[in-house]
Amino acid sequence: MTRVAVVCPGRGSYGREELGSLTRGRPGGAQDLLQAADTWRRKVGRESVTDLDSRGRFSSRHLAGENAAALIFTGSALDAMALGPGLEVVAVCGNSMGWYTALHVAGVFGFEDGLRLADTMGGYQADGVVGGQVITPVVGEDWRPDPTAQEEVETVLQEVAQAGAFAARSIHLGGFAVLAGDDKGIRVLLKRLPRRRLGRRDYPFQLLGHSAFHTPLMEPTARRARKDLADLPWRAPRASLVDGRGRVFRPRTADPEALRDYTLGAQVVTTFDFTTCLRVVLREFAPEALILLGPGDNLGGAVGQVLVREGWSGLHDKQTFLDRQASGCPILHAMGRPEQRARVAARS
């Protein structure tokens, strides 16, 4: 058995490239799950996941909170189901809304309850986006921490406060800082954060359609969720879960009430520290490999950056990570990439 940790991606992991990935080439077992997703979606009056995934063209419709959440949750759940034998899942974690998927993958919820959680949380955005999120890198091209960039973020956050606006750290995302704030805060962030280029992208930029998740601005949303989801049946997980603070919930000892309180409380309104979360997964569970569920693979960079930050398994910069990935013994298997998926998915 290979000891692996499963990482569930968050918003932004279903894009143009992923169109059709949920429905095409899935084995028989996946159909039941897709059908369950579609049924549930229709029941709440939303476009089915199958229809969304089968559209001819990627559009803003796919990015809308309620749709993106359902697509990603369903895609990840399909991938988790497809994991082959010979893998021992020692820990499960996720980034941001990937936490909801993680709860399902670790067995806290069945598929439908998990979908309801993800869909409900994402769906609140249909009533209007609250503030926004901005992303900017805090590492160099080699993925090593860039202290200057870190300081700049701190300075700009202070400037936002001085300008009488609100902004805070939303997600510690490996080599990126995701900042969130109210509308004025976002304007200051975009204006004041220094321009940086990493890979082929220019930063900072605003994440379209994203509310100011993981900040106190989401308090009303959290309150609403606690009410709307009061009847959600919380169970103890079957696999160890690591949350966005780095707290470990273990199968026999996790308190379902604590899971609920976190998921519908602190998780929504305080910084989601994916960096620490993955650090805890690595240091306390020491998996032989990490599996990044699909759809998409764009969390892979952040995962790689955490591995580099931790110096895990001898990786100390982007190149050593890429070399390792190209070797016969890669450390990260992204199921959104066919060649990597083939290594960990069951043969259909």
Among 305, 272, 271, CA closest to 290: 305
- Give min distance, CB of 171 to another protein, in A: 15
Residues in the chain: 348
By CB under 8 A, which span of 114-122, 132-140, 246-254, 329-337 interacts with another protein? Answer: 246-254
The arrangement of strands across the sheet holding 87-94 comes to 248-249, 241-242, 87-94, 2-8, 289-292, 332-334
Q: Give the orientation angle of helix 28-43 with respect to helix 111-123, to 10 degrees.
A: 50
Question: Closer to another protein at the Cβ: 184 or 235?
Answer: 235
The residue among 42 and 250 lying less far from another protein, judged by its C-beta, is: 250
Instruction: Write the secondary structure of 75-144 as one string of H (helix), E (strand) and C (coil).
Output: HHHHHHHHECCCEEEEEEEECCCHHHHHHHHCCCCCHHHHHHHHHHHHHHHHHCCCCEEEEEECECCCCC
Binding mask 249-288 for another protein (x = CB under 8 A): -x-xx-x-----------------x--x--xx-xxxxxxx
Which positions from 302 through 341 interact with another protein, judged by CB under 8 A? 311-314
If the CB atoms of residues 120 and 275 are measured against another protein, the closer one turns out to be 275
Judged by beta carbon, residue 175 or residue 244, the one nearer another protein is 244
Amino acid type, 340:
Q
In the complex with another protein, the residue whose CB is nearer, 78 or 269, is 269
Are 190 and 211 within 8 A, CB to CB?
Answer: no
- Per-residue contact string for residues 215-244; x = within reach of another protein by CB under 8 A: ---------------------x------x-
Which residues would be at the binding site for another protein (CB under 8 A)?
Answer: 3, 90, 236, 243, 245-248, 250, 252-253, 255, 273, 276, 279-280, 282-288, 311-314
